[in-house]
Amino acid sequence: FHHRIKTLGLSLLCLNRSAAFVATKPSLHRQYLPVRTGVIYRKMSTSDIIPGRPTWQQTMLRIKNPEKSISFYTDLLGFTLIDKLDFPQWEFSLYFLTTLPEGEKYELTPGTQEAHDYLWSIDGVALELTHNYGTEDDAEFSYHTGNKEKDGFGHIAVNTDDVYAMSAKLEAAGCSFKKKPDEGRMKGLAFVYDPDGYWVEVVKRSEDAKIPNECNFSQTMLRVKDPKKSLAFYKKMGMKLLEERHFSDFSLYFLGSSVVEDDSKVKDLFQPVLELTHNHGTESEDSFKHFTGNEDGKKGFGHIGFLVDDVYKACDGIREMGYGFQKEPDGGSMKGLAFALDPDGYWVEIVKRGGLDFGDKKVE
């Protein structure tokens, strides 16, 4: 029972966890790995951004067994565990991993105040893994990893120079695949399952990338109903539309955080991008909604998050967009932390740059 109520990461401290069930029409085009062509590059204006210098800072996934998940991401995909927040009083822990430049040594101890200070000031994007105590001992327990009918969350991804070599390494380590590089219509692209069954896309970098890392954290994919509304929202959050790819029945939009150059090419980037997938026609269906990963029976993906200089001023700017909040900055017991809603109802965490006292048990 405990794993049903303690699955919201930091939001457990402060959010009403009521779930809204939605009835939607299946729209799964993106799941079948269509050929991707027709790249268009765009520059974005830096005007009309919410106050506080927003930067994309995290993608949160709920996990069953942190030992297995952390080993997968660090030992096989080259992530570094940069911090953890332990909440024994609420029986859950948060683990934050990211890709650091090759050769950069991370000497801070996760769980210390020094590691917290680093985490809440990074310009990069971390993968937040949320573990609710006891799930690892429940043989029947699993999270909903997306890619079923009506699901919004699709996958995360890593870029690499050689998809075939990387896939061979993962296969030798015992990993299972949704798609190996030579399967399906799209050759040279793979989808490997992480220990919880989340899809991790393995993508070839561009020849011009010149990134020495074997892998780098490269994307989070969400399906959206109306790209005009979603793009306007995330541009207000400081994100930059770097590429569009249009096909007969779906389109892909790739957004970089505010810290990347306007003319960056997606496959050259060390930083991750947010991939928004639009299946054509959903914007015209009034009743259409995606599951966002926080509904009962659908919990897996939790949210993305942004750092800002002032949560209250940032939320004033977000409030003007009219999509509402799961948690206002002064809602609940955790003051100064917010969860906004984007046009599809995805939760968007708003955290003060530099962090705040979350009440975790720190490592001394």
Q: Catalogue the active-site residues.
A: 201
Query: From edge to edge, which strands make up the β-sheet containing 126-132?
Result: 80-87, 92-98, 126-132, 55-63, 301-308, 347-352, 338-341, 325-327
Q: Helices in the chain by DSSP H: which ranges?
A: 2-5, 66-71, 113-119, 163-172, 227-236, 311-319
- Rounded Cα gap, residues 329 and 294, in angstroms: 19
What is the distance between the alpha carbons of residues 11 and 142, in angstroms, rounded to a whole number? Answer: 20
Q: Among candidates 265, 364, 347, which has minimal Cα distance to 58?
A: 347
In sequence order, the 6+-apart residues with CB closer than 8 A to the CB of 235 are 44, 48, 49, 241, 255
Please give the helix or strand (H or E) that residue 115 lies within, else none: helix 113-119
Q: Compute the residue count for the chain.
A: 364
Residue 339 phi, psi (nearest 5): -125, 105
Q: What is the amino acid identity at position 250? A: F
Helix (H, G, I), strand (E, B) or coil at 360: coil
The 3-state secondary structure of 306-327, one letter per residue: EEECCHHHHHHHHHCCCCCEEE
